[in-house]
């Protein structure tokens, strides 16, 4: 295993666990730890951002290169994730919206699948 892959593995695991536990703390009212959950999620997000910067530095690439394609891909990813999340809420939380929720969820999945040719390109 290469050194950059090992560092990414460790930082990604730590950041992901901190972020996930923080989200649980925020979203589970039984835990009564909303403020602490926000802090823990923020720490997890920072660790994940540091992981990205460290990985790029270890590969000898510039920290972050902002292009129109990158901004579009991020925007499409955010919109796709939000549409998928709304579809899941329609199915699991809101009453009587099973079929429309499935349709909205599939639309979100399609939007997220559009990221593959956008990022990798077609050959």
pLDDT tens figures, 86-121: 999 999 888 889 999 999 999 999 999 999 998 888
Q: What is the pLDDT of residues 42-69, one digit of tens each?
A: 999 999 999 988 888 888 887 777 888 8
Question: Contact, 110 vs 83, CB < 8 A?
Answer: no
d(CA 97, CA 30): 27
Are 39 and 26 contacting, i.e. CB atoms less than 8 angstroms apart? no
Please give the structure tokens belonging to residue 58: 């270890």
In DSSP notation, 39-82 reads HHHHHHHHHHHHHHHHHHHHTT--S----HHHHHHHHHHHHHHH
CB 31 within 8 A of CB 24: yes
């Amino acid at each position: 295993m290469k050194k950059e892959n090992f560092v990414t593995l460790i930082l990604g695991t730590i950041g992901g666990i901190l972020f996930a536990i923080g989200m649980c703390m925020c979203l589970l009212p039984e835990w009564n730890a909303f403020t602490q959950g926000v802090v823990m999620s923020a720490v997890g997000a920072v660790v994940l951002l540091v992981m990205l910067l460290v990985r790029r530095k270890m590969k000898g690439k510039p920290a972050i290169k902002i292009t129109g394609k990158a901004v579009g891909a991020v925007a499409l990813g955010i919109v796709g994730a939000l549409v998928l999340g709304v579809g899941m809420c329609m199915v699991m939380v809101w009453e009587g919206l099973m079929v429309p929720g499935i349709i909205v969820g599939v639309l979100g999945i399609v939007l997220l699948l559009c990221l593959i040719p956008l990022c990798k390109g077609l050959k």
